[in-house]
Chains A and B, each alone.
Chain A
Amino acid sequence: MIEHTKTEVLIATLARLLAGCRHVCVGAASPIPGSAALLARAQAGSALRVNLLGSRRHNFFTNGGVELFDCAAEGRIDAFFLGGGQIDGQANINLVGTGEYPTTNVRWPGSFGSAYLYFVVPRVILFREEHSRRALVEKVDFVSAPGTSAPGTYRPGGPCALVTGLAHFSFDRTRRRFRLESVHPGHSLEEIFDNTGFSFDKPECVPSTPPPDGESLALLRGLVRDELAETYPRFAAAAFPTPTA
């Protein structure tokens, strides 16, 4: 069996969720989703375009900061990653803070483009490495972007999955609920129940998240690490084991 790190399992899981995409964008301060997009590109070849915000080399936008949003408005971005200090059982996300707004006792950076991209990008993948009851809550304190909208609202996009440090969930937009798809290697269903603040659906038998195969690991530790280092030097240096010669 090939040795892999927990981070590499997350990257490979996110990369699988990008299957079939033609254009994927990754927001700022997102090294793990960025790695996943670069891995998916390495595997898909010229069939997949990737834009990493904050990168010069892996970003082909020429119309400034607004191009990402204009591009998404026209349906030209197939997938995007969003996170959240809090994510709730209806896929509402909070990037602002906890407690009474505006003097929140915990303050996060802010909503970024979430309130918009969540509506217009067809495949939004939620990623939050911390899987705990403070991160995955029943109801968020502040809705930066709602998981679902009333019928009649213009909304071609929305959440399709949630990946955490422990598990992979899919999201059913009609039922407005998450469904546990797999538990990452080394973790148990009991851990998921103990650390999730919302209720979710699950199959009778929950599979284990498949670990990255040898080809994926070789790409991650070579090409992807080198490509990522331009934007995330600290992460690229720390996240991947050095290939053994």
Chain B
Amino acid sequence: MKNVTISSLDDLAARVPDGAKLAIPADYSGVAMAATLALIRRGVRGLHIVTVPSSGLQAELLIGAGRVETIETSAITLGELGPAPRFVDAVKRGSVRLLDATCPAIHAAIQAAEKGLPFATLRGILGSDLMRVRKDWKTVENPFNPGDEIAAFPAISPDLALFHAPFADREGNVWVGRRRELVTMAHAARQTLVTVEAISDSSLFEDEGLAAGTIPALYVSSIAEVKRGAWPLALWGQYEADGAVLLRYVEAARTREGFERVLAEWLERLAVAAE
């Protein structure tokens, strides 16, 4: 039963090998930003990032720091703050392999992996250029209604899922509330790494209300307790995004030098927080 490690942030980050296929959630869901910085600091390389289904600052930082070989995504944007400058730059330079997708296809492909299926199917999408540029996407005929074409996508089986949640318990159960895409990611991934705001001494299964929004420890490989672990992004129900810091990022990251400067500051801040 006790197979979950409650570890330090650096130990958690060390569990992501170079070249891993890493699933990360959208900004609204619970983004492990501190762990992402720790990952950059440990020097990870060649990641295949799968955004479930989109991403913002997290993918932007990993791409800007040159840690991403492939980005599989429905969208990368900093939301109200506009385009993600390092992502845009990497696309233009062709320095990152792009697997453009659409949100429900990523959800469905993750769900297929969760069920141990080789592929997922979805209505729509036919006639989109996504079908043309995604050589791995196909159309299949509805076996029950010949002539009815349906888009099909290979299952996405991430090596790891990484996200940030409000709390876990000492057994390694993680509470994600109604952020069910995190449950699906944990089911689909070989390993799941979670940072949490707090670790509760009582089991999440003692309360049926909490249990309903809980990922059982079975699916969780490693947990680290990191206060404000989504900073400078928001964590739903816990804290708002640090708007001033994000604004400064967007302005600085227009240039490679400005980006390097902010990243260095954030890594420094992480080191100080760890002391």
Which A positions have Cβ atoms within 8 angstroms of B?
A: 28-29, 31, 53-54, 56, 61-67, 69, 73, 95-97, 101-105, 107-120, 142-146, 149-150, 152-155, 232-235
Contacts and interface: CB of A to CB of B under 8 A. Distances in A.
B83 A104 contact: no
B103 interface: yes
Nearest to A143: B129
Contacts of A63: 178, 180
Contact of A149 (B111, B127, B129, B150): B127
Residue from A28, A53, A118, A146 having most chain B Cβ neighbours under 10 A:
A28
B91 A143 contact: no
Given A63-B178, A120-B124, A112 B183 contact: no
A95 B87 CA distance: 15
9 contacts: A29-B80, A65-B26, A65-B29, A65-B107, A66-B180, A102-B91, A118-B124, A120-B123, A145-B128
B76 A64 contact: no
A111 B181 contact: no
B91 A103 contact: yes
Interface residues of B, number: 55
A96 to B, nearest CB: 6
Nearest to A112: B75
Contacts of B243: 233-234
A105 B149 CA distance: 33
Nearest to A54: B28
A53 B108 CA distance: 19
B48 to A, nearest CB: 16
A111 B79 contact: no
A113 B103 CA distance: 5
A66 B111 contact: yes
A153 B125 CA distance: 10
A101 B133 contact: yes
B125 A102 contact: no
Contacts of A110: 54, 73-77, 100-101
Contacts of A113: 53, 74, 102-104
Contacts of B92: 103-105, 107
Contacts of B105: 115-116
Interface of B is mostly: mixed
A159 to B, nearest CB: 13
Contact of A108 (B28, B83, B102): B83
Interface of B: 26, 28-29, 52-54, 73-77, 79-80, 83-84, 87-88, 91-94, 98, 100-105, 107-108, 111, 122-130, 133, 147-150, 178-184, 236-237, 243
A109 B75 contact: yes
A108 B92 CA distance: 11
Contacts of A235: 80
A145 B124 CA distance: 9
A153 to B, nearest CB: 6
A177 to B, nearest CB: 18
A114 B105 CA distance: 11
Given A64-B179, A65-B53, A103-B93, A115 B80 contact: no
Given A97-B91, A109-B54, A115 B182 contact: no
Interface core residue of B91, B105, B179, B237 (most chain A CB under 10 Å): B91
Contacts of A116: 102-105, 122-125
Closest 7 interchain pairs by CB?
A64-B180, A119-B124, A110-B75, A109-B77, A69-B104, A64-B181, A113-B103
A124 to B, nearest CB: 12
A148 B108 CA distance: 24
Contacts of A108: 83
Given A61-B178, A65-B53, A107 B125 contact: no
Nearest to B25: A65
Contact of A114 (B77, B79, B83, B102): B102
Contacts of A152: 147
Nearest to A146: B127
A101 B97 CA distance: 12
A232 B184 CA distance: 28
B33 to A, nearest CB: 17
A154 B102 contact: no
B180 A62 contact: yes
A228 to B, nearest CB: 12
Contacts of A95: 75
A82 B182 CA distance: 26
